[in-house]
Amino acid sequence: MTSPLSNSVIFHRPSCNPNPNPPSTSFRHPQNLKFRPNSTSKHHNNATASDQPPQSEKRSFAVATGELFLGIASRIIKSRNAMDRRLDSVEKVRMFGEELSGKTESEFWKRFRRRKEVVTEEITEVVEDGDVVWEQRLKDVEAERGRKAVSSPGFSFSAAGLLFPYHLGVAKFLIENGYIKDTTPLAGSSAGAIVCAVVASGASMEEALEATKVLAQDCRSRGTAFRLGAVLRDVLEQFLPDDAHIRSNGRVRVAVTQILWRPRGLLVDQFDSREDLINAVITSSFIPGYLAPRPAVLFRNRLCIDGGLTLFMPPTSAAQTVRVCAFPASGLGLEDIGISPDCNPENRASPRELFNWALEPAADSVLDNLYELGYMDAAVWAASNPVEDLVQEDNPMVSS
């Protein structure tokens, strides 16, 4: 691991592990990993100018745009959490065309949906939650039903911007220790969707981390705002194998947000080609005016933006979903999160540092530390959730 990086604000929050005397594990303790942005270590002194984000108007615009988007998403999350507490648990999880108890769809939306299905494709409603409707195409539902085996729990990875080395570290631990198998359902928004596609492709997390550094180096030297989408597409086209879409079908749910006529979360689970999978992932990551100089992207004849706006951590098709968040979950008002920086609140980067790194690529040494911290947080979570007690074979097509 690289030398320590930064002096950070410490999160004083409870650990994910409720056991005051957890069993010993073989991983190194994250307390040894401190973020020191003003470090004078040899590694820091040898960093070239290209290792640091460019200080320019584009960077300021990128951070301002991203923070605005994240602020809106946070408000939606908090309002939905408040609504969730008022809804019956059955109402929250009905899926695949089942009507919500006590709720009916307006005649306008029924007519609109019928017309849309005739013109484009058949949509199966997933769940309605206030002003947000989650949907899946019939093809997506059929792809999940076609799976012969499903393991529970599934794992959902949050939107995270350029913090996805954290998710890669979490995924590495979960794969190595048998929590994620070939039959494990996955779901993700934005960076989380990228990680799900990588996991399903069979690539190693170390290879994915190196690809992340290639993307980060390009953005550090040439800028991030307005061009991140093109760079990300190029990296995915070079990294994902030709059969990535086949490996992902029925297993990986990618969340995108349709913006007309109201925010509508779409869960995509069936991909016609590798290009279709990449398009879904790019759409799931599309922060307006940040990935490219336009307000939205056209995906399957729909104007869409980042999936994190409506489905920050989308449900998987397993009976139980463990949610992974790259940000301190409690700081965003999130509940029922399995793995996050809250698992190890000591000596962690401040929220401001994390948001900045989410929007502008950090130095490679920071990416390495995020990767290892994700691994450590997953290990702390696992200490309270032994694989032999948690992972089990499940029936396909059960709601989460």
pLDDT per residue as tens digits for the range 245-293 = 999 999 999 999 998 877 788 999 999 999 999 999 999 999 887 777 7
pLDDT, position 320: 93
HEC string for the chain:
CCCCCECCCCCCCCCCCCCCCCCCCCCCCHHHCCCECCCCCHHHHCCCHHHCCCCCHHHHHHHHHHHHHHHHHHHHHHHHHHHHHHCCHHHHHCCCCCCCCCCCCCHHHHHHHHHHHHHCCCEEEEEEECCEEEEEEHHHHHHHHCCCCEEECEEEECCCHHHHHHHHHHHHHHHHCCCCCCCCCEEEECHHHHHHHHHHHCCCHHHHHHHHHHHHHHHHHHCCCCCHHHHHHHHHHHHCCCCHHHHHCCCEEEEEEECCCCCEEEEECCCCCHHHHHHHHHHHCCCCCCCCCCCCEEECCEEEEEHHHCCCCCCCCCCCEEEECCCCHHHHCCCCCCECHHHCCCCCCCHHHHHHHHHCCCCHHHHHHHHHHHHHHHHHHHHHCCHHHHCEEECCCCCC
Which range, of 93-97, 216-220, 379-383, averages the lowest pLDDT? 93-97
Report whether pLDDT(304) > 70.
Answer: yes
- Examine the residue annotation and report whether 190 is marked as an active-site residue of this protein: yes
Q: What percent of the chain has pLDDT over 70?
A: 65
Report whether pLDDT(222) > 60.
Answer: yes
pLDDT, position 125: 55
Confidence class of residue 359 from pLDDT cuts 50, 70 and 90? confident
Averaged confidence pLDDT in the chain = 75
Q: Rounded to two decimals, what is the model's pTM? A: 0.73
Q: Which of 244, 323, 251, 276 is nearest to 77 (CA)?
A: 323
Distances (CA, A) of 103 to 85, 127, 162: 17, 11, 39
pLDDT, position 72: 56
Active-site residue, selected from the candidate residues 306, 342, 377, 394: 306
Confidence class of residue 197 from pLDDT cuts 50, 70 and 90? very high
Mean pLDDT of 143-155: 88
Report whether pLDDT(42) > 50.
Answer: no
Mean pLDDT of 121-135: 62
pLDDT, position 185: 96
Active-site residue, selected from the candidate residues 190, 285, 340, 400: 190
